Amino acid sequence: MRKIFNNASLAFGTSNRGIFAAVILSLFTLSQAWAQEVIKANGPGNTYDELTAFLAPGYNPIEVPDCNHASFGDHIDEVYDSSLGDYSFRFFIHVTPDNDRCIETINDRQRNEIKTYSPSPANLKGVQGEKVIYKWGFKLADEFQSSPKFTHIHQLKSVGGSYSSMPMYTLTTRKGTPDKLQLRYAETDTQITLKETLLSPFIGDWVEVTEKIEYTTAGFYSIEIVNKFTGQQLFYYDNTEFDEPKINWRPGASFVRPKWGIYRSLVYEEDLRDEQVLFSYFSIEEVSSLNTLEENQRSINVFPNPTSGVLHTSSIDAAQMQIFAKSGQLLLQSNNAQIDLSDLPPSLYFLKVFDKNNKLLLTHKVLKSN
């Protein structure tokens, strides 16, 4: 399903929001049979209406601190960004007085997020057995400051079941020496860091994210972040590395929802500033195939395996091969479609195959024989 709100939509103006909402709802209803939903920033005005029509028509999928900070006005608007050459959604958060959804009893954290939830259309909610691709673009401000506790800019969160309070996956920035971008995961009610990298390459530049997930109890998950203008891969993770299927469906869950925005701890508020994050678009797509490494493993041959010497791959896109020990230590590397294991002792190893753009094509177990 593809739904982009363009500048023509804004011709209705603020005084005709009812008509505007009805037209958007009509477009939404007509497009249900498609597979992808996209919303793109298109200019100032009606931002809440547009996000609502996209995420949950007629309901309230926007979690903003407006009622606790009415003097500021809307905490999500649309602004032209010269580096992007287009409009973007701008999410604001203020150290004071912004809080968490205007709940006065919560004073250790604050949020400004959008989400899908129970009233959202079915194709925007991940249910057991589905494969979904989420895409979005974002930019962190030049002086962006993270909490040492957590600053989430994206979450995948179960609804229902005993672990619903803990997100399954988060994309989290964290203050440190140096600051980091982390991919966090929770199988139950405790999070771990799956992978982290320096935050500095993400500051002040537009990046694009592709997140793929299979909602099963032993499902595929991957996330790739690239610089929008150079195409450079800044972050990549997938759970086929070293055969690590993830529990992507929790007991008792009814669906999984995505969330985007700013959700951060106030425990160390002296480390924070009034902040903003820009998002250019959001996309949710249900698919029959994720085109994943798991599928590559069925279509790309590695031979001979076991091997006593040279290992080959059938992929015409292979530009680099790497051999890892079970501990994760890199042992060998070649810049073509074959690699010589002759000098390694007999054991089980892991092979990674990359294309010329350093994109991971395949991970595979390899047995070195005598």
Q: Are residues 244 and 344 in the same domain?
A: no
Q: Are residues 93 and 234 in the same domain?
A: yes
Q: Are residues 153 and 263 in the same domain?
A: yes
Q: Are residues 168 and 314 in the same domain?
A: no
Q: Are residues 311 and 210 in the same domain?
A: no
pLDDT band at 240 (very low <50, low <70, confident <90, very high): confident
Among the three residues 266, 287, 308, which one is the final residue of a domain in this structure?
287
Count of domains observed in the chain: 2
Q: Residue 247 above 70 pLDDT?
A: yes
pLDDT band at 358 (very low <50, low <70, confident <90, very high): confident
pLDDT at 78: 98
Please state the rounded mean pLDDT for residues 109-119: 97
Summary mean pLDDT of the chain: 87
Q: Are residues 128 and 269 in the same domain?
A: yes
CA-atom Rg of the chain in angstroms: 22
Q: Are residues 271 and 343 in the same domain?
A: no
Q: Residue 306: which domain range?
A: 300-368
pLDDT at 364: 80
Q: Residue 20 above 60 pLDDT?
A: no
DSSP 178: S
Q: Residue 66 above 90 pLDDT?
A: yes
Q: Are residues 166 and 255 in the same domain?
A: yes
pLDDT band at 365 (very low <50, low <70, confident <90, very high): confident
108 vs 243, higher pLDDT = 108
Give the domain CATH number at 359. Answer: 2.60.40.10
Q: Quick count: other Cβ atoms within 10 Å of Cβ 42?
A: 20
Q: Are residues 90 and 215 in the same domain?
A: yes
Sequence-separated (6 or more) residues with CB below 8 Å from residue 203: 140, 141, 142, 144
- Distance CA(89)–CA(78), nearest Å, equals 5
Please state the rounded mean pLDDT for residues 4-25: 35
pLDDT at 242: 55
Sequence-separated (6 or more) residues with CB below 8 Å from residue 320: 333, 334, 335, 336, 353, 354, 358
Q: Are residues 344 and 234 in the same domain?
A: no
Q: Are residues 323 and 250 in the same domain?
A: no
pLDDT band at 294 (very low <50, low <70, confident <90, very high): low
Is 1 part of any domain?
no
323 contacts 351 by C-beta, under 8 angstroms:
yes
Q: Are residues 70 and 162 in the same domain?
A: yes
pTM of the complete model: 0.76
